[in-house]
Amino acid sequence: MSNCDLCVVRNRAICASLDAKELEALNAIGRTRAITPGESLIWEGEDSVLVANVIEGVLKLSTNTEDGREQIVGVVYPSDFIGRPFGGTSGHGVTALTDAKVCVFSRRDFDAFAREHPQLEHKLLERTLGELDRTRRWMLLLGRKSASEKMASFLIEMVERLQGSGCRIDFDKPNERHLTLPFSRQQIADVLGLTIETVSRQFTRLKNEGVIDLPSRRDVTILDFDALVAEAG
């Protein structure tokens, strides 16, 4: 069997629109690559030479300010597409937050394949518009929401994006969610535009109010998901 036959995100990734023969052709120009935490796949400001589907793990999109500070501008999860097809330079770096596996394509080979398969170009457009919608919501979160609303919104997004990989639902307790976060407290602060002290205070407050429990630094049990949604505004 080909890599596509074994791919766990095949039905959710952009290649889901392709038939078996087309998948075989796409598989011929791609390769799987394992990435360790902290390893970069794409560098900010460099020519766009590759694109990739995320198969496993979580990666961050980041850019650097003039004084050398890093700002996380996005996060990608299994089945997400990364890179810039059809030329240009990379506007941000892409670095693994966890152990990850990606299906990598030469950008030029992928561009040629996409031009020959309009349904794949359509999927790329759908993904781009979806990413634009998420970016607009994130602008609202960063620009208008309070620290408590930011934290609640962040945890809700983690539930939505990590289902099947870092989020478990106990069907005996349907209002609970169990998360293993791919972020440190400092990275959460960077994503939300908060200080690490504020992030810690918000976690403690939510725990004291019985909305969440914190079994460890990376594990979060959401005890009352409805209350968290209300907290997010």
Q: What is the mean pLDDT of residues 37-65?
A: 89
What was the pLDDT predicted at 1?
A: 41
Q: What is the mean pLDDT of residues 1-9?
A: 67
- What gap in Å lies between CA 179 and CA 222, rounded to an integer? 8
Q: Which residues pair with 51 in a beta bridge?
A: 83, 105
Encode pLDDT of 54-102 as tens digits: 998 889 888 887 787 777 788 888 888 898 888 788 888 999 988 999 9
Whether residue 136 is predicted with pLDDT greater than 60 in this model: the reply is: yes
- What gap in Å lies between CA 84 and CA 105, rounded to an integer? 11
CA-to-CA dists, residue 56 to 33, 80, 101, 165, angstroms? 11, 10, 5, 8
Q: Are 114 and 107 in contact (CB under 8 A)?
A: no
Encode pLDDT of 190-228 as tens digits: 888 889 999 999 999 999 999 999 999 889 999 999 999
Whether residue 28 is predicted with pLDDT greater than 80 in this model: the reply is: yes
CA-to-CA dists, residue 174 to 36, 125, 178, 214, 222, angstroms? 34, 35, 11, 18, 11
Q: Which domains does the chain have, with CATH numbers?
A: 3-140 (2.60.120.10), 146-231 (1.10.10.10)
Q: Are strands 177-180 and 50-56 parallel, antiparallel or unpaired?
A: unpaired
Mean pLDDT of the chain: 85
Name the helix (H) or strand (E) containing 224: none
How many helices (H) and strands (E) would you count in the chain? 8, 12
pTM here is 0.77
Cα dihedral: 175, 180, 168, 35 (round 10): 150
- What gap in Å lies between CA 132 and CA 153, rounded to an integer? 18
